[in-house]
Amino acid sequence: MEQSCFKETYLKIGTLLVFSLILSLDSCSAQRQVKVQKGPLVRAEGHHITIQCDVSGYQGSPEQNFEWSLFRPDKPTLKIQIISTNDPVFSYAVFGGRVQKNEIYFERLKGDSVLLHITKLQKSDEGTYECATPSTDNVYWGSYSALTNLTVIPDTLSATLAPQTLDKVEGDSLELVCEVSKETSQHTHVAVTWYIQKGDQNLTVISLTKDFILRSGDSYKQRQASGDVRLDKIGATSFKLTISKLQMSDQGDYFCEGAEWIQDLNKSWYGLSSKNTEGTTVNVKSIGNQFLALIQATEVNINVGGSLEIFCTIEAQNFPERFFSVAWFLNNREIIRIGPNAVPSFRGDYNMRESLGKVVVHKKSERVYVLKMYQIQVEDGGSYYCQAEESEKISSAAFSTNKSKEITITVQRPQANLKVIIDSSMTEVLEGDSIQFTCDIHSASAAYGQLSITWQMTNNQNQNSDVIGMNQAGIQVTYQPYQERVISNDIRMARVKSNSFTLDIYNAQTSDQGQYACKVMEWEAESNGNWHLIGEYVSDKKAVTIKSLESNFQVTAITRTPTVKYYGTFELQCFIRPVDITHVPASVTWKFQPANSNDSYNLVTFTHDTAIKWGHVAENFKGKMIVVKSVSNAVRLSVSRASKLEAGKFLCIAELWGRRNANKWVQKASRTSNILEVKVRPPACLLQLTKQVTTIHRRINDITELECKILARTQNDSQFSVTWLFSKTQGPNVKGENLLKIDRNNIVQYYGELLTNSQKKMKFQDEKPSSDVYKLMILKTDMNDSGNYYCHVTEWLLDPNNIWYKVGENTSAMTIVKVHTADVNLQLSNNNVTLLGNENAAVELECQIINQTQRQSQFSVTWYFQNADNPNTMETALLKTDQNNILQYFGDLQIDPQKMMKFQSIKTSSNTYKLIIQKVVQSDSGVYFCDVEEWVSAPQNEWVIQGHARSGSTVLQVQIPGATLHSKACASSSLFYFIFIYPFIVILALIVVALYFYLRPKKPQKPINEKSLWTPIETFIDDPKSEEEENIK
């Protein structure tokens, strides 16, 4: 039975789980989901882009509608509508024109899939794109939009190929170099493809894909496999195409295409940009099995000691499979030969010249052979030609020859007739500037020998030194102490022409001041390898003055806005003089010292290497400060939304820097500008209140309404705090006591008795019916409320740093409140009396009620005190006995328990109250009086104040008593012991002795008849006792 119950339970649970699973699957299948390409997407400006959006899990029509919108980075909450599939007026104006021109359109891939097309991407198209699908579902369930980010970057891709026409022979090699570069900050790949154009058709030769895989075109696959077609990356941006064994089919126009690719987050690659180069025309000529020898010289007119270079080029088909030798002839005499194995052989004295390195023969390329001769002599001139010879094998004899045309080389001996002229465009420069000298060599004849040059300087102490030079072999020579500056490229020399040399001094120093000259020496090379000096020439001296930076360097700070108001803008400018020192790197720092402070700190620094460093302390300047540096090193500092935190003193510090070597900068000069003081003032206070004195008459238990009206304010957004004050008396020097205060947040703060007395707090109520009107309501007005009321208003504004500051304050005119009573018969004793009291004694002061309004009246009595030594002081309330005989203390008595016990108020009869002061002291002397409030029963069974009266004054004078024995004894310790302690000790000793004799055992009495001169002591003692007992009886 139990097993069947368990089976039935399990069956129910299983059925419930299956049903829940079906419901969950049904709810999931009905959930709409919009998907868009995962971002961020990085695309190049000016190119065509697409973004795909799909929707699934929808209900209704199979053809869904799509709406595209954009959120730009500068306004991320502003939605800009782009295009919709069903609403032709969906686009905002910013995109409407481009949509009408079909520059932005959509392509529907399926009913639930579309592509957004932007044909010419702009920088303003950057932002977050939203694809939304209007609901066609029965129930709103799922996601109806999706977002993706699009970043637009500049198109920095460039591809260049030098346009030229190349004439090649079958079997030659072709090399073309394409430069492809990019400056994209994102991680991208570059793909390069070489094409050959034949007619209107572009055929792929070979390409390097974005995945760094080489792929060749269909016509070049086999030649790539054999290595005859190659694509090599020979630098960071250079891609070289090499085609070996040129064929006639290789003739055409070659160009390369550079493409930049970026990988999206979905791992797919996207082509950002592509660029094509200009074309290079390649002509391929077929020569069959013939070959040609071509000769060429770099220069045909050479001076003695110069160098000669002769090229011999062989043009032939299938060159790598054939064997050639080349021989050079001078005046029909063979001088040098190089065989098929590239081993040279020399004739005559050329063997020795080769060993000295004056003759070099080598194979420059597969077809080009080079003969180079150094330090040539006159006898090296003549007619040269080269002869190419073809053989079957390397070791076999030639079976065919071809002779080139002849060229004539003329070698002339120089004449020692040179004129050296030095020149400089500047005679006076600033320290750190550049100097250039030119040394021109003029000759009466057209040729001269090898030259060496030395630049010399004579300083102000008439000391000569060599700076830098070049020897006759063309090798640069550096002299001390200029080697370090030559290494750092601060001193350079160059041969700009065959007869012209330059000396450049960068970052000139004051030690470079002096007179400069160039010394030229002419040399002739001898056959033994030595040099022979032909002549020496020195130019005139050229003087250069170098002014130090310290002598002319000045810094000035100016401003046209020394005083601004809150939220204003002030500008400061720092000028460096003279303005022509822009060649020297300068750093400029703005410093700031806040007003009322001795501390200063850096705001911003333009460093000498063009970096900007912001100060770490100036938090309040963030977002307010703009700094601009001009070409002339002037730095302008602009501060907007000024507040008192930006008020203070400003100055700028300029430093000039020079480079000591390639990696080290040193400070050359430093100047501090004058101080600029900027004052930031708040707006002038325009607060105005009512200044007309008014009088209000009220009866007891009336409601009194007082008004504080603001007639004018500084700004519309001003806030106010209002304090209500009360004074019994009226006068120019009378200061009222605070009743309550309403701060700018409308929080009420009570003062004095209103703070401690809840009944009075409820009696005085504040009200603000409008932004410019504050009211004070006095409920159940009584006689104590008579007096002068006024309000004190403080105006507040927010400064640019969102800090509240006080603009100003004002006090209204008095409102005099007079409370009248009906049939007030309260009368007190007005007698003024003087009461003398001894110090430390208790005194009693009496307050007697002579007449009252009602027989059942109750009274509230308050005792006041005024210091007799200073009658100008205010009357101070001491304590109060209310109508219920409950004591209430004020001032010091409220917080000091000892003083509270000292002053007591008691009611001795129905119309008599007394103030008892215990242990009076000198400071208690003064004037005392009582103030009585009469409370009567109102018709509503409420007790109300009928009136109040003040008694006459009692002047208490506390006297210091005269000296007594007690006081004198207490004043002297020895006298105190003599009068009180010592007698006590003596009396105590006598008592002890008396007790001793009284209690000791009695001796037997002698016979009566025995006479003694002395009466027994016992008898003397007993008799008084008996007599005392008798008296008692």
Under 8 Å between Cβ of 433 and 508:
yes
Report the pLDDT averaged over residues 489-498.
Answer: 89
**Distance between CA atoms of residues 958 and 247, nearest Å:** 139
pLDDT above 90 for 735: no
Candidates 485, 509, 435; CA nearest to 662 is 485
Residue 971: the pLDDT is 57
Residue 3: the pLDDT is 47
Residue 199: the pLDDT is 83
Question: 406-431: string of b/e by CB count within 10 Å (b at 16+)?
Answer: eeebebbebbbebebebeeeeeebbb
Residue 9: the pLDDT is 47
Distances (CA, A) of 1004 to 533, 1000, 1007, 1015, 1017: 171, 13, 10, 15, 13
Which residue in this structure is represented by tokens 């963030």?
622
The band of 1022, judged by pLDDT with boundaries at 50, 70 and 90, is very low
Residue 1018: the pLDDT is 40
Decide yes or no: CATH 3.30.1550.10 for domain 33-153. no
Report the pLDDT averaged over residues 20-48.
Answer: 73
Beta-ladder partners of 426:
none
Q: What angle do CA 804, 808, 811 make, to 5 degrees?
A: 130
Residue 398: the pLDDT is 58
> Mind giving me the DSSP string for 852-905?
-SSTT-EEEEEEEEEESS-TTSPPEEEEEE-TT--EEE-THHHH-HHHHHHEEE
Report the pLDDT averaged over residues 98-120.
Answer: 93
DSSP state letter for 34? E
Report the pLDDT averaged over residues 609-633.
Answer: 82
Residue 966: the pLDDT is 59
Report the pLDDT averaged over residues 596-614.
Answer: 87
The band of 797, judged by pLDDT with boundaries at 50, 70 and 90, is very high
pLDDT in tens, 372-412: 999 888 788 899 999 988 887 765 555 678 888 899 998 87
The band of 266, judged by pLDDT with boundaries at 50, 70 and 90, is confident
Instruction: Return the half-sphere exposure (C-beta side, CA atoms, 13 A cut-off) of residue 578.
Output: 12
Report the pLDDT averaged over residues 650-666.
Answer: 81
Report the pLDDT averaged over residues 792-805.
Answer: 91
pLDDT in tens, 40-49: 999 999 999 9
E strand or H helix at 350, and its extent?
helix 350-355
Report the pLDDT averaged over residues 305-320.
Answer: 84
Q: What is the 3-state secondary structure (H, E, C) of 240-282?
A: EEEECCCCHHHCEEEEEEEEEEEECCCCCEEEEEEEECCCEEE
Find out whether the peptide bond into 163 is cis, omega within 30 degrees of 0: no
Candidates 589, 683, 574; CA nearest to 632 is 574
pLDDT in tens, 441-472: 887 765 677 889 999 999 988 889 999 999 98
pTM over 0.85: no
Under 8 Å between Cβ of 926 and 806:
no
Residue 193: the pLDDT is 95
Residue 322: the pLDDT is 82
Report the pLDDT averaged over residues 267-296.
Answer: 85
**Distance between CA atoms of residues 776 and 793, nearest Å:** 14
Beta-ladder partners of 531:
525
pLDDT above 70 for 983: yes
Length of the chain counted residue by residue: 1033
The band of 335, judged by pLDDT with boundaries at 50, 70 and 90, is very high
Strand pairing of 127-132 and 113-118?
A: unpaired
pLDDT above 60 for 431: yes
Q: What is the 3-state secondary structure (H, E, C) of 973-986?
A: HHHHHHHHHHHHHH
pLDDT above 60 for 11: no
Under 8 Å between Cβ of 464 and 452:
no
Under 8 Å between Cβ of 111 and 46:
no
Candidates 708, 666, 669; CA nearest to 690 is 708
pLDDT above 80 for 1014: no
pLDDT above 80 for 935: yes
pLDDT above 80 for 365: yes
DSSP state letter for 710? E
Residue 128: the pLDDT is 95
Report the pLDDT averaged over residues 206-224.
Answer: 90
pLDDT in tens, 154-203: 999 999 999 999 988 777 889 999 999 998 888 999 999 999 998 888 99
Residue 872: the pLDDT is 67
Report the pLDDT averaged over residues 1000-1004.
Answer: 62
Percent of the chain with pLDDT over 90: 39
- Please give the backbone phi and psi of residue 839, each rounded to the nearest 5 degrees, phi first: -60, 140
CATH number for the domain formed by residue range(s) 291-412: 2.60.40.10
Instruction: List, in sequence order, every beta strand (DSSP E) within 673-786.
Output: 676-681, 688-689, 694-699, 704-712, 719-727, 737-742, 748-750, 764-770, 773-778
**Distance between CA atoms of residues 562 and 852, nearest Å:** 74
Residue 821: the pLDDT is 65
Domain covering 418-547: architecture: Sandwich (2.60)
Q: What superfamily would CATH give domain 688-820?
A: Immunoglobulins (2.60.40.10)
Report the pLDDT averaged over residues 343-366.
Answer: 90
pLDDT in tens, 848-888: 999 888 888 889 999 999 887 776 677 888 999 988 888 88
Percent of the chain with pLDDT over 70: 88
Looking at 2.60.40.10, 3.40.50.460, 3.40.228.10, 3.20.20.70, the CATH number of the domain 827-959 comes to: 2.60.40.10
Q: Which pair of tokens denotes residue 99?
A: 């949509």
pLDDT above 60 for 631: yes
- 604 contacts: CB under 8 Å, gap ≥ 6: 589, 590, 612, 613, 614, 615, 625, 627, 637
pLDDT above 80 for 580: no
**Distance between CA atoms of residues 223 and 196, nearest Å:** 15
Average pLDDT, the chain: 84
165: exposed, middle or buried (C-beta count within 10 Å: 0-12, 13-18, 19+)? exposed
More reliable by pLDDT, 551 or 555: 555
Fold category of 550-681 in CATH: Immunoglobulin-like (2.60.40)
pLDDT in tens, 706-725: 999 999 999 999 999 999 99
Residue 962: the pLDDT is 65
Distances (CA, A) of 167 to 174, 252, 528: 10, 11, 44
Q: Which of 13-27, 119-133, 637-651 has the lowest mean pLDDT?
A: 13-27
**Distance between CA atoms of residues 956 and 295, nearest Å:** 142
More reliable by pLDDT, 566 or 731: 566
Fold category of 158-285 in CATH: Immunoglobulin-like (2.60.40)
Under 8 Å between Cβ of 346 and 333:
no
pLDDT above 60 for 16: no
The band of 1013, judged by pLDDT with boundaries at 50, 70 and 90, is very low
Residue 741: the pLDDT is 94
